[in-house]
Chain A
Amino acid sequence: MTLRSPLGRARGLGSAKQGVAHFWWQRLTAIALVPISLWFVISVVSLAGADYAHFRTWLSWPGNTTLMLLLLFAVFRHAQLGLQVVVEDYVHDEGLKLIGVIAVKFAAVFFGVFAGVTVLRVVFVGG
């Protein structure tokens, strides 16, 4: 015997158990980006004025290829989560908000995959 109404039961189903996924991925990518960002800045400074051949040699080192791909994943995952919060905070029309959140996600996936493919092309095919 329960004192809860049917509506109360339907509303009280609880969370989808994914409530911390956004928070967790934002923090995980943030922690990862601390050392990766420093590697990136040092690399870009050391590559200042480098020609194509030098750039390709540098990017083709397995460690650099790996870190660049990880950077792209972490950057676009982190940016997508952050921009989603910005859209949710400032866009008050529900329809536009949904469109904004979807557009941010699609853009992040597109540019992330595209950039990853360009890295692989430079490393394995070259120009």
Chain B
Amino acid sequence: MTRRTRPLSPHVHNYRFPLVALLSISHRVTGVALALGSLLLVYWLASAAYGPASYDRASHLLGSPFGLLVLFGFSFALFYHLANGIRHLFWDVGLGFDLPTAVKSGYAVLAVSAGLTLLTWAIALS
């Protein structure tokens, strides 16, 4: 039996992820991360409910280098999910759904979320 050489679809390893696809899965990943991160908010509020001593302990923990690193990641995930979520809301009403606009708004989401993250931390640490 002769094997015909048919065109092959690109293997997943050498398939370059399009930007819009990367942004799409990132929306989901940041969403799950924020759901887990919301437990940090619960921890912070609960620490206050148990009194000044536990609130101070929680503040100390969240203000430690590791705590700040986690909060930095949390803030970027929040701004990204927020900005990209607004992009989704525009799509919901049928605006900006063509590919060139979606690519442009995708870059805008990256710029806005990075900018707001840096601005927030510049103010918080000043």
CA distance A49 to B63 in the complex (A): 8
Asked whether any CB of chain A lies closer than 8 Å to the CB of B64, the reply is no
Q: Is the CB of B48 within 8 A of A41?
A: no
Identify B49's interface contact among A41, A86, A121, CB under 8 A.
A121
Task: Please report whether the interface of chain A is mostly helix, strand, loop or mixed according to DSSP.
Answer: helix
**Contact A45 B120, CB 8 Å, known A52-B55, A127-B52:** yes
User: B63 to chain A: which residues have CB within 8 Å?
Assistant: 49
Asked whether any CB of chain A lies closer than 8 Å to the CB of B112, the reply is no
Nearest to A89 among chain B residues (CB) is: B28
Identify A122's interface contact among B32, B41, B45, B59, CB under 8 A.
B45
CA distance A72 to B42 in the complex (A): 9
CA distance A119 to B34 in the complex (A): 20
Asked whether any CB of chain A lies closer than 8 Å to the CB of B103, the reply is no
User: A122 to chain B: which residues have CB within 8 Å?
Assistant: 45, 48-49
User: A30 to chain B: which residues have CB within 8 Å?
Assistant: 85, 88-89
**Contact A79 B75, CB 8 Å, known A27-B92, A34-B82, A121-B49:** no
Asked whether any CB of chain B lies closer than 8 Å to the CB of A31, the reply is yes
Nearest to B53 among chain A residues (CB) is: A127
Contact count A vs B, C-beta below 8 Å:
83
- Provide the A32-57 mask, 1 if CB < 8 A to any CB of B, else 0: 01100100010001001111110110
Identify A127's interface contact among B32, B48, B82, B85, CB under 8 A.
B48
User: A75 to chain B: which residues have CB within 8 Å?
Assistant: 38, 41
**Contact A52 B48, CB 8 Å, known A34-B86, A41-B120, A45-B124:** yes
User: A53 to chain B: which residues have CB within 8 Å?
Assistant: 52
Subset of 25 A-B contacts with CB under 8 Å: A27-B89, A31-B89, A33-B82, A41-B78, A45-B120, A48-B124, A49-B63, A50-B59, A51-B59, A52-B52, A52-B55, A59-B48, A68-B45, A79-B38, A82-B31, A83-B31, A83-B35, A86-B32, A111-B39, A111-B42, A115-B41, A118-B46, A118-B49, A122-B49, A127-B52
Q: Which residues of B contact A (CB under 8 A)?
A: 28, 31-32, 34-35, 38-39, 41-42, 45-46, 48-52, 55-56, 59, 63, 75, 78, 82, 85-86, 88-89, 92, 120, 123-124
